[in-house]
Structure 1
Amino acid sequence: MNTLGYKQLNHYKIMWLFVNFDLPVVAPEERGAATRFRNFLLEDGFTMHQYSVYIRHCPSKQVARQHVKRIRLAVPARGHVSILQVTDLQYSEIINIWGSRPKALKTAPKQLELF
């Protein structure tokens, strides 16, 4: 198999997991459960993409399935958790926009004089 064919094949086997969740945090025990779930995701190799969205690269579908099994066991009793699985090829089309254009100050701040 040529190198190009190998790369194309891998783009479909390599997976990314997106874990999205909305967990209640009103009561202290709910906050604790949400914190434990976030810490579990971090310890399991996920990276925080947004506050309630964590992502992880998996080298194969089999590895992705193992992480999904672990997540199922770690989900708090209350709340909503969704897991989105995308191939590496699909993930390569992601568009991230961080921040916005800097806004000019309306007026320059006044210089502070100490003496």
Structure 2
Amino acid sequence: MFQFSIYLRHCSSRENADVHIKRVKGFLPEKGEIGILTITDKQFGMMELYQARKIKERPNVPQQLELF
């Protein structure tokens, strides 16, 4: 596995992305790693995301009481 967390930022141009990359480089931690992946809008649009199917359990519905 490559990452524990993923942060995403849209940049309108490569020049704008370079500004943010420079900022991140200025805050590199002493320990740990940071990876930056730059992709185009078209590549982002072709991304496929999958989630495992999870069976949702029905919540325990408490018994209704009537008060007179």
Of 9, 13, 16 in structure 2, the residue corresponding to residue 56 of structure 1 is 9
CA-to-partner distance for each residue in 1:30-68, whole Å, 9 max, x for gaps?
xxxxxxxxxxxxxxxxxxxxxx21111111111111111
Match of 1:74 in 2: 27
- Letter paired with 1:53: I
- Letter paired with 1:73: G
Superposed CA RMSD in Å reads 3.0
The 1:89–1:113 alpha-carbon spacing in structure 2 relative to 1, beyond 3 Å, is same
Structure 2 unaligned spans of 5+: none
Match of 2:65 in 1: 113
Q: TM-score w.r.t. structure 1 length? A: 0.45
- Identical residues among aligned pairs (%): 29
What is the aligned length? Answer: 66
Match of 1:83 in 2: 36
Which structure carries more strand by proportion? 1
- Letter paired with 2:33: H
Structure 1 unaligned spans of 5+: 1-19, 23-51
Shift of 1:103: 2.5
Question: 1 or 2 for the larger relative contact order (CA 8 Å, sep ≥6)?
Answer: 1
- The CA distance in 1 between the partners of 2:52 and 2:65, in whole Å, is 33
- The CA distance in 2 between the partners of 1:108 and 1:21, in whole Å, is 36
- The CA distance in 2 between the partners of 1:113 and 1:99, in whole Å, is 39
Residue 96, structure 1, aligned to residue 56, structure 2 = no
Q: Which has the larger radius of gyration?
A: 2
